[in-house]
Amino acid sequence: MAESIQAVHRGNHPVQEARHTVLLGWNNHSISLLKQILLVQEERGEKVFSRPILILSERPKEEIDDELADELGAEVVGTAVVTRSGSPNKVCELL
């Protein structure tokens, strides 16, 4: 049980989302890209983050979650934007 809880905190458990957008990697342009997605959805009259966005990055999940909360708001993390730690270059981690 403790192992499963740790996997969730590290972002190493399977994704349960469907029809989601995947952002591979994380860099200094990622927040800007997410803000552009928000802007387009608002211009189209769509619900903000109408489809979940999954971020797979080698950076620790906690770091990305903190940056997302600072830039986009804490309510976005874990609901509209889901983060996972792993290598975007490994097919087994994309499944």
Which residue type sits at 42? E
Token code pair at residue 85: 């730690």
- If 0-12 CB within 10 Å is exposed, 13-18 middle and 19+ buried, where does residue 29 land? exposed
Q: Which residues contact 52 (CB under 8 A, 6 or more apart)?
A: 17, 19, 20, 21, 79, 80, 81, 82
CATH code, 87: 3.40.50
Q: pLDDT tens digits for the chain (95 residues)?
A: 545 444 444 445 556 666 778 899 999 999 999 988 888 878 888 776 777 888 999 999 999 999 999 998 887 887 788 898 888 888 877 77
Domain count, the chain: 1
pTM over 0.85: no
For residue 37, give its domain range: 2-94
